[in-house]
Amino acid sequence: MSKKIMLVDDAAFMRMMIKDTLSKNNYTDIVEAGNGQIAVDTYTAEKPDLVIMDITMPVMDGLEALRKIREIDQNANVVMCSAMGQEAMVVDALKQGAKDFIVKPFKPDRIMKTVNSILG
């Protein structure tokens, strides 16, 4: 059975880079959101197996969206993406239930290691 992954980032090229890496590794059921608010709505509608979400976004940031998604589903698998220097936010996200984090710039093998460790 194919696993559904949701990519959340306000930068379309970031979503495309991750999507590209995922599809090369046979993850093809991918939904996208451009900010935290859309992510929460999309999570409710699509129930993805994994969410890869940027921390810094307009409208609603990743930490707020993480909180709301975890209210909807306390078992949600959410991996946060952060830029260098956002360690405090990452720690906050992990305390709030994020499963892991990936630091930008992304390395494809790091993305896949994280995805595979969560989705098996």
pLDDT in tens, 3-13: 999 999 999 99
**pLDDT recorded at residue 120:** 85
User: What is the model's pTM?
Assistant: 0.94
**pLDDT recorded at residue 104:** 86
**pLDDT tens per residue, range 32-76:** 999 999 999 999 999 999 999 999 999 999 999 999 999 999 999
Q: What is the mean pLDDT of residues 79-90?
A: 88
Q: pLDDT > 90: what percent of the chain?
A: 86
Domain boundaries, the chain: 4-119
Higher pLDDT, 119 or 87: 119
**Long-range pairs, 70-79, Cβ under 8 A, ≥24:** 70/96, 70/97, 72/40, 72/43, 72/44, 73/43, 73/47, 76/43, 76/51, 77/49, 77/50, 77/51, 77/118, 77/119, 78/50, 78/51, 78/53, 79/50, 79/51, 79/52, 79/53, 79/114, 79/115, 79/118
**pLDDT recorded at residue 83:** 85
**pLDDT recorded at residue 65:** 98
Mean pLDDT of all residues belonging to the chain? 94
d(CA 23, CA 96): 29
The topology under which CATH files domain 4-119 is: Rossmann fold (3.40.50)
Please report which confidence band the pLDDT of residue 1 belongs to, taking 50, 70 and 90 as the band edges. Answer: low
